[in-house]
Amino acid sequence: MNTERRVSMAERRPSLMKNADSRGQLVVPHLAGIEDPLPDTTPENVDVVIAGTGLVESILAAALAWQGSSVLHVDANSYYGDSSATLTIDQLKAWVVAVNDGHYAGCYENAKLYVSSNVGPQGKYASREFGIDLACKILFAKSDLLSILINSRVHQYLEFQSLSNFHTYENDNFEKLTNSKQQIFTDQSLMLMTKRSLMRFLKFVLDWEKHPEVWKEYVDTPIGEFLREKFKLDDNHISELVFSIGLCYSHDTKTPNALQRIRRYLTSFDVYGPFPVLYSKYGGPGELSQGFCRSAAVAGATYKLQHGLLSYNPETRVAVFQDGSRAQVTEKVVVSPTQRPPDSKNVPEQPFEVQRLTCVVEKDCAEWIDENEHASVVVFPPESLKTKNRRAVQVVVLSSGSEVCPKGTCVWYLTTTEPGARGELDLDATLEAMEASILRESSDLADRKELFGVAENGRPVVNSVKLGKSFKEYVPRERLRFLLKLYYRQFSSTPPFDVVDPSLFDLESKAKHTVGASDNGVLYTAMPSGEISYDEAITAAKVLYEKIVGSDDDFFVMDFEDEDDQVLDEKTYNESALTDDDDVDMLETEEVEFAGKIEL
Closest by alpha carbon to 165, among 592, 588, 586, 597? 586
Q: What is the pLDDT of residues 402-448, one digit of tens each?
A: 999 999 999 999 999 999 999 999 999 999 999 998 988 877 544 44
Domains along the sequence of the chain with CATH:
180-268 (1.10.405.10)
Q: What is the mean pLDDT of residues 358-386?
A: 94
pLDDT > 60? residue 468 = no
**How far apart (Å, rounded) are the C-alpha atoms in residues 256 and 382?**
20
Measure the CA angle with vertex 187, ends 186 and 192; round to 5°: 90
Contacts of residue 585, defined as CB under 8 A and 6 or more positions apart, other chains included, come to: none
Model confidence band, residue 504 (pLDDT cutoffs 50, 70, 90): low
In DSSP notation, 83-143 reads GG-EE-HHHHHHHHHHHHTTTTTTTEEEEEEEE-TTBSTTSSB-GGG--EESS--BEESSS
* Strand duo 460-462 + 452-454: pairing: antiparallel
**How far apart (Å, rounded) are the C-alpha atoms in residues 379 and 333?**
39
Q: What is the mean pLDDT of residues 387-397?
A: 97
The residue type of 553 is D
pLDDT > 80? residue 449 = no
Q: What is the pLDDT of residues 252-286, one digit of tens each?
A: 999 999 999 999 999 998 898 888 999 999 999 99
Which run of H or E residues covers position 349?
A: none
Q: What is the mean pLDDT of residues 530-537?
A: 93
Write the CA distances from 449 to 440, 454, 467, 493, integer angstroms.
16, 10, 18, 56
Write the CA distances from 210 to 181, 204, 214, 545, integer angstroms.
21, 9, 9, 32
**How far apart (Å, rounded) are the C-alpha atoms in residues 554 and 556?**
6
Q: Would you say 184 and 397 are in contact if contact means Cβ atoms under 8 Å apart?
A: no
Q: How far is CA 344 from the centre of its chain?
A: 30
Give the model's pLDDT for residue 517. 62
**How far apart (Å, rounded) are the C-alpha atoms in residues 382 and 386?**
10
pLDDT > 50? residue 18 = no
Q: State the pTM of this model.
A: 0.86
Provide the percentage of residues in the chain whose pLDDT is more than 70.
77
Contacts of residue 294, defined as CB under 8 A and 6 or more positions apart, other chains included, come to: 9, 28, 29, 30, 31, 154, 157
Give the model's pLDDT for residue 567. 38
More confident of the two residues 540 and 510: 540
Contacts of residue 47, defined as CB under 8 A and 6 or more positions apart, other chains included, come to: 64, 69, 70, 71, 329, 330, 331
**How far apart (Å, rounded) are the C-alpha atoms in residues 377 and 199?**
24
Convert 76-107 to b/e letters by CB count within 10 Å (16 or more is b): bbebbbbbbbbbbbbbbbbbbeebbeeebeeb
Closest by alpha carbon to 307, among 527, 79, 55? 79
Q: How far is CA 272 from the centre of its chain?
A: 19
**How far apart (Å, rounded) are the C-alpha atoms in residues 435 and 534?**
28
Q: Would you say 310 and 341 are in contact if contact means Cβ atoms under 8 Å apart?
A: yes
Contacts of residue 351, defined as CB under 8 A and 6 or more positions apart, other chains included, come to: 491, 493, 513
**How far apart (Å, rounded) are the C-alpha atoms in residues 35 and 19?**
20
Give the model's pLDDT for residue 193. 65
More confident of the two residues 171 and 129: 129
Closest by alpha carbon to 280, among 375, 363, 173? 375
pLDDT > 70? residue 510 = no
**How far apart (Å, rounded) are the C-alpha atoms in residues 372 and 7?**
24
* Strand duo 86-87 + 132-133: pairing: antiparallel
Closest by alpha carbon to 412, among 398, 402, 423? 398
Q: Tell me the range of 32-36, 92-96, 189-193, 230-234 where mean pLDDT is highest.
A: 92-96
How many other C-beta atoms lie within 10 A of the C-beta of residue 384? 22
pLDDT > 80? residue 575 = no
**How far apart (Å, rounded) are the C-alpha atoms in residues 401 and 163?**
12
Q: What is the mean pLDDT of residues 455-469?
A: 47
Write the CA distances from 27 to 53, 66, 157, 158, 291, integer angstroms.
22, 17, 8, 12, 12
Model confidence band, residue 237 (pLDDT cutoffs 50, 70, 90): confident
* Strand duo 318-321 + 522-524: pairing: unpaired
**How far apart (Å, rounded) are the C-alpha atoms in residues 286 and 5?**
12
